[in-house]
Structure 1
Amino acid sequence: MSDRQNQLISHYQKALIIKYDSSHVHEKLARIYQSQFQFQEASYHYIKSLQFDQNNFQNYWNLKFALLNSTWSNEKIDSGLLEEGVTILRQTIQNQPNFYFARVVLGILLTLQGKSEEAIDSYQAASYQQIQISDPQLIDKHWDFNQKLQPSFIIPGFIRCGTTSLYSYLSTHPQVLPTVDKELHFFGNFSEQGIDYYLANFPSISNSTNYITGEATPIYLNSPSIAKKIFAIFPKMKFIILLRNPIDRAISCYYHQHQGSGQYKLMQSSITETIEKIPSLIHRWFDWLFYEPSLLLENYQQYIINCVLLPDLLGSLYIYYLKEWMTIFPREQFLILKSEDLFENPSATMKEVYSFLNLPDYQMRKYPNQNPGSYPPISDNLRRQLVEFFCPYNQQLEEYLGMKLNWE
């Protein structure tokens, strides 16, 4: 942890001595701890933030990801803290019955308590409530808790490439029903819970109806083992993948991950050092990520966390990830799109998506960016350096996919 982050933690802890019920300060602390992979501390402060302000809806999402990350890192969350979180979420549901996402977070907390059946009930209730708000007639005509609509598509990546916007646009189609949460993380975090647990997140209607559903968990592409898990259950699954200019994705991902953590400004000298280290790290990185994630976690502090932008650069080497997945699923089950096309010409891009999913075209009046980021521009010199770094990898990707990407 950097000196700056330690100073911020000390500052916020002193602020809590003066005013312990400050939801804002607890949130600030949680963000710093989460950026440093201290997920129990992050979860604690997100729960405290919600205790003192149950209307801070963003922190329900933040708590969800802190809890998910704890399962990935095998960090066991204190049972007392989990129970405190369950109590607060039940209070939220009672006070705000239309806020169905609270039931999703409650389901994760119950899962971590070992109460899978209660978690399934919570997800099913969330799905019912979600559809009841958006389409009450569908509830009357088709809802049956004994039925489960199985997913037809998954958007498995990449992070900061527009998956939130794509899923939002898809969910407006009259024949597409959303899951209770865009990112289910089932195949990465909860696959041992079984297929009934997974399907509880989808609408309770028959597969024979004229509807489809799917999810969008953009970290799935990080792991070929996830592809194997999906193939074992859904061998005909269709995948929609967004690829963004890797420079823009890496920079966006860095700022998104470090917002509020005290690490913000990118320096060219630091990135030059990182790029110089990549040749010696790249094979170890993908071996850890693909085959030995426990070793990735063990070595993160030593090799990764202090190398500015390293995980973001490696995460933009799309060719490595796609090759792994396309050895498991055939190429025709993938629709590969450029993020730039989605935002520059969303109508035409969505027409491609609908055709891929065998849906009739559907036009929206507007296509807003659902998860925009804002960060300072990088220098021309730094951009040229990154263009040079990514060039050979992008060429490999174009040859492998048989499509021009024209990134600069």
Structure 2
Amino acid sequence: MTSFEEYRWYGLQMYNRDDLYDAGFNQIISRYWEWNNSAVNHTLARRSGPFAELLKKKLPPFLPDMKNPCWYDDDNDRRTVWIEYLCSMDSGYASRLCNLYSGNRKTKKKILRCLPYFMLIGQPKSGSTDLFKRIVQHPDVRSSISKEPHWWTRYRHCREKMPHSFTEYTDYFSYVAETLHVAEKSAKMQIITGEGSQSTLWDHQWWWEYPENEDDKGPGIHNAHFIRHILPDVKLLVILRNPVERLFSEYLYFFPDEQKSVDIFNNYVTRAVHSFNTCLANNSLRHCAYKEATDVRLRLMIGLYAVFLKDWMDVFPRKQLLVISLDNYSANQSTVLSKVFKFLGLRNFESRRTKRTRFNQRRPSSRQIGDMLNETRLVLERFYRPFNKALSLLMNDTSFLWETAFT
């Protein structure tokens, strides 16, 4: 068990500022050095551990003979954990790997560890499930244990669960790692894996959970900085939906046991827009976009795509980011998938699935609610219009204006 004093050391002492990634890192770490030790309680000190540890972590020694970012690590304990998990799975392929490695767990000195080659980072209720499933149908793509580990945004910051370590995050890709370990040399340069956490693009609410940041106007560093520090060459995918339709879809999808109606949704929208405008009267746009309002029911800010993408494009080269419109994906699925495969450096592949599938369809109970009221749609389109225009200019693509008869 790590003692309080050890946690406090991680929070206050462990960094040489000259070794940090950029000025954003200097900003946050300098505050750790300025903390008053007596004001740091056990919970907050424990929270600082995963946050600080990742900034200090050196880039893993990725293997040049693999396309996917992988490296060998002297960690027999994780191998034992992984083999036990592997042997508990019903998959025939998992069983073969279980039999292959169970007898070698004592003699094998190194375990292959992997991270995602690509990340589908946004947005929720925008077709990401369908897109991700079609990507992993490609013969050169292997699925991780979970599509959405939400590690970069939540589970390393003590949000919702106990903090997950970097090692636990890499466990999500152990199935792929074992596949690559036994693969032929040619396959090692083809096989990739990815993840699709739909919180990665926009969710930086952890920033204000650290007491030294609570008075900030906006995050000094964000998820993109951490990811580029560990995965400088990662491929980033984003799929976007008309923010008006996205918001209504999210309202219908979550909390299925809650009473819902178009009138209730209209009331939620009115309150959310008022709350956001009140925030803007006293704070910066980034502050209001990144700090969730506690007095409203809807996540209105997720639709501010231009704000989030601008921050990511300031960190990553444009060539590493592919932004897709759900409208275009739905109308030209084969063409868009070919573009995605090319972006990922994959050979072209025609899926055997000929029937157009829509994952995460509306539940029967929500279909009875019907469409939102025209007055609600008008309020939302007026609210999102300037952000859609900014997105259109940012991407140099008028399709992101999502113009309708109400606009």
- The TM-score normalised by the length of structure 1 is 0.60
Q: Aligned-pair distance for 1:260?
A: 0.9
Letter paired with 2:393: E
Q: Aligned-pair distance for 1:277?
A: 3.4
Q: Aligned-pair distance for 1:384?
A: 2.7
Distance 1:389 1:158 in 2: 19
Distance 1:142 1:339 in 2: 42
Q: Aligned-pair distance for 1:264?
A: 4.6
* 1:287 corresponds to 2:287: yes
| 1:377 to 1:226, Cα distance in 2 relative to 1, 3 A | same
Q: Aligned-pair distance for 1:387?
A: 1.9
Gaps of 5+ in 2: 1-42, 47-74, 103-107, 157-162, 182-186, 205-220
Gaps of 5+ in 1: 1-72, 77-115
* 1:169 corresponds to 2:120: no
Letter paired with 1:201: Y
Distance 1:177 1:131 in 2: 17
Q: Aligned-pair distance for 1:138?
A: 8.3
Q: Which residue of 2 aligns with 1:11?
A: none
| 1:211 to 1:281, Cα distance in 2 relative to 1, 3 A | same
1:336-374: CA deviation from partner (whole Å, max 9, x where unpaired)? 001122222221111111000010111122341122224
Q: Aligned-pair distance for 1:272?
A: 3.3
Distance 2:329 2:246 in 1: 14
Task: Please say if residues 132 and 139 of structure 1, whose CA atoms lie closer than 8 Å, have aligned partners that are also in contact.
Answer: no
Distance 2:270 2:287 in 1: 24
Task: Please say if residues 149 and 212 of structure 1, whose CA atoms lie closer than 8 Å, have aligned partners that are also in contact.
Answer: no
User: Within 5 A, what are the aligned runs for 1:9-408?
Assistant: 125-126=84-85, 132-133=91-92, 146-191=111-156, 193-202=164-173, 203-204=176-177, 205-206=180-181, 208-222=188-202, 223=204, 225-265=222-262, 266-268=264-266, 270-282=268-280, 283=283, 286-287=286-287, 290=290, 296=292, 300=294, 303-305=295-297, 309=298, 311=299, 313-364=300-351, 365-366=353-354, 367-374=356-363, 375=366, 376-405=370-399, 406-407=401-402, 408=404
1:279-327: CA deviation from partner (whole Å, max 9, x where unpaired)? 222447842774xx6xx5xx62xx334xxx3x2x221111111112122
| 1:369 to 1:120, Cα distance in 2 relative to 1, 3 A | farther
Q: Aligned-pair distance for 1:130?
A: 6.4
Q: Aligned-pair distance for 1:395?
A: 0.5
Letter paired with 1:371: N
Distance 2:321 2:87 in 1: 30
Task: Please say if residues 124 and 200 of structure 1, whose CA atoms lie closer than 8 Å, have aligned partners that are also in contact.
Answer: no
Letter paired with 1:226: N
Greater Rg over alpha carbons, structure: 2
Q: Larger relative CO (CA 8 A, sep 6+): 1 or 2?
A: 2
Q: Aligned-pair distance for 1:123?
A: 5.6
Task: Please say if residues 354 and 360 of structure 1, whose CA atoms lie closer than 8 Å, have aligned partners that are also in contact.
Answer: yes
Cα RMSD after superposing both structures:
3.5
Q: Aligned-pair distance for 1:245?
A: 0.6
Letter paired with 1:229: F
Distance 2:332 2:139 in 1: 21
Letter paired with 2:376: L
SS in 2 for 1:241: strand
SS in 1 for 2:201: helix
- The TM-score normalised by the length of structure 2 is 0.60
Distance 1:233 1:118 in 2: 23
Equivalent residues, number: 283
1:139-198: CA deviation from partner (whole Å, max 9, x where unpaired)? 899999821343110011111111111111011110000000100112123446544322
Task: Please say if residues 89 and 95 of structure 2, whose CA atoms lie closer than 8 Å, have aligned partners that are also in contact.
Answer: no
SS in 1 for 2:224: helix
| 1:344 to 1:122, Cα distance in 2 relative to 1, 3 A | farther
Task: Please say if residues 79 and 111 of structure 2, whose CA atoms lie closer than 8 Å, have aligned partners that are also in contact.
Answer: no
Distance 2:76 2:222 in 1: 26
Question: Which has more helix, going by share of residues?
Answer: 1
Distance 1:162 1:321 in 2: 18
| Same amino acid, percent of matched pairs | 22
